[in-house]
Chains A and B, each alone.
Chain A
Amino acid sequence: MKNRLRVLRAERDWSQADLAERLEVSRQSVNAIETGKFDPSLPLAFKLARLFETTIEAIFSDEN
């Protein structure tokens, strides 16, 4: 699923490893989500939204 994770990360000057550590997941997982190859579960999506102080819809775009 398309997302703005890379932009949001860059705004805070976080590497993928930094984000992974804050989310308590592996860097691989962050990469897979960022490149749109893996969709996070609802709890993880909420965690991301809270971390970036925004909503899930502001991060992920579901293009149908």
Chain B
Amino acid sequence: MFCSIKNPTERRYVIRMWIMAALCVLFSLVAALVFRHSRPHGILSYLVAVLPALPIMGALIYTGVYLAEEKDEFQRNLLVQSLLGGTGGILAVTTAWGYMEDFARAPHLDLVWVYPLFWLFAGISYGLVRARYR
């Protein structure tokens, strides 16, 4: 599946991102299970809660590494525009939903969804930016 990507820098990035995504899901499940069955306290509870955040930080670091390593400036530009689009998207959504939650009693949105929503909007932006250069 990954052999279709010819650019080695890009291929390495995509593989790393998939690994981080898998670890994120895995660590989230582990953390949820630990809390449901053993009820840890104090420092231990904090450490287990932070566990899923580690692959997320890894993914962000790998994205930074890719941006620094990618020699194709156009591809780099595409990713940067996508990331900025993702940023604008989540900032708008969290602000709107935040006010509706606090003042109009809208259903609660967990803070942990900010990160996946970011990638959702980044993906949408990528499609839009690619289309512009068609």
Contacts and interface: CB of A to CB of B under 8 A. Distances in A.
A31 B131 CA distance: 13
B103 interface: no
B71 A26 contact: no
Interface of B is mostly: helix
B2 interface: no
A49 interface: no
State which size class the interface on A falls in: 10 to 19
A25 B133 contact: no
A25 B72 contact: yes
Contact of A40 (B73, B78, B132, B133): B73
Nearest to B130: A28
B133 A32 contact: yes
A41 B73 contact: yes
Nearest to B133: A32
Nearest to A40: B73
Interface of B: 7, 71-75, 77-78, 130, 132-133
Interface of A: 24-26, 28-29, 31-33, 35, 37-38, 40-41, 44
